[in-house]
Copies of this chain bind each other. A is one copy, B any other.
Amino acid sequence: MSITLHDVARVAGVSIKTVSNVIHDYPHIRPATRQRVEEAIVELGYTPNLTARNLRSGRTGAIALAVPDLSLSYFAELAGFVIQEAEKAGVVVLVEQTGADRRRELDLLRSPRLKLTDGMIFSPLGMGQEDLEALRVPYPLVILGERIFDGPVDHVTMRNVEGARAATEYLLASGRRRIAVVGAHRGEVIGSAGLRLRGYQEALLDAGIPVDETIIGYMRDWHRANGALAMRQLIDSGAEFDAVFGLNDTLALGAMRVLQEAGLRVPHDVAVIGWDDIDEAQYSIPSLTTVDPGSAWIARTAVHTLLDRVAHADRRDPPTLHLSDFRVVARESAPVAYPTVT
């Protein structure tokens, strides 16, 4: 049905191998022959069959990217970065959604569908440290995020503790003293929530401020609705606070909405800081102060780390850990300095 090497060879009057050689810039070809072949290629509109090429070479030129859900802005933006970076490297990206479901994540790791790819960048959200062995897979794998540490594979992630500490210190420096949290996970030690909460606690303790459990809002899923819900619960509880640390932007934006509905002025009465620096954070009202955890760098590094593994599959280099730099992005919801009461 479609044009193959044989067709080109027939038209050019050479063997298929010569055509293959021309395509691969094999040096010893007479200019006349090369030209005839090239003309035939153009004339027929030949493009190589990548499937066949892959079968021979064992490579597919595609990588998989598994994220919880593209409707979560953070992951959509991350996927965008990954695709962009992969394109530069001439590689194509196959996107899978796991729904943050542990079972589906585990299944995906063993899915035969991955045979179409050379390796995977995997951002687990349901699995945890207990599933570490499931990462021992027969293909190159790079994991993102903070659900699993010290696994048998390369890992690219952000400095959660340090970033959260910086976010908290930033609020403290601006004069806030009672900083509520939205989105904590009960009992979690590692994981985004656990680590960011730890950074928050460390900053408070360093400043000599006791950690007050009554202003820590727990919420499993980091959807905006949950940020709103947690905020409402905190307000209804009667607890007092002059700042809110949303463990991600989505939560923070949801929380901010409820604060405003409740008649609390942001940042006047309550300052709000988020985490992720998603696009939207620039445009909310007020715009959201947040921590930019270096997602673009993470995507870039993940792609390169993976492609490096693919290229050197023979080597058995030990797993590496890459940590991005973060940055507190000051915006209106928590300006650098603001009197608590005016």
Contacts and interface: CB of A to CB of B under 8 A. Distances in A.
B83 A76 contact: no
A10 interface: no
Given A83-B97, A261-B285, A285-B285, A61 B113 contact: yes
Contact of A225 (B94, B138, B283): B283
A80 B70 CA distance: 5
Contacts of A225: 282-283
Contact of A283 (B58, B95, B96, B224): B224
Contacts of A284: 257, 284
Interface in A107-137: 112-113, 115-116
Contact of A84 (B93, B97, B138, B260): B97
Interface stretch (A45-53, A143-151, A178-186, A211-219): A45-53
A261 B284 CA distance: 11
A113 B279 CA distance: 30
B116 A61 contact: yes
A87 B55 CA distance: 24
A162 interface: no
Interface string A50-72: 11101100101110000001110
Contacts of A55: 49, 51-52, 55
A4 to B, nearest CB: 12
Contacts of A97: 80, 83-84, 87
Interface residues of A, number: 51
A73 interface: yes
Given A279-B71, A283-B225, A50 B93 contact: no
A92 B94 contact: yes
Interface in A221-258: 224-225, 228, 253-254, 256-257
Interface of A: 1-2, 47-52, 54-55, 58, 60-62, 69-71, 73, 76-77, 79-80, 83-84, 87, 92-97, 112-113, 115-116, 138, 224-225, 228, 253-254, 256-257, 260-261, 279-280, 282-285
Which 6 pairs show the lowest CB-CB distances between chains A and B?
A76-B76, A70-B80, A50-B115, A47-B112, A224-B283, A95-B95
25 contacts: A48-B112, A50-B113, A50-B116, A51-B60, A52-B55, A55-B55, A60-B116, A61-B113, A62-B94, A69-B80, A70-B70, A70-B76, A70-B77, A70-B79, A70-B83, A71-B76, A71-B80, A76-B76, A76-B80, A79-B95, A87-B96, A87-B97, A224-B279, A253-B283, A261-B285
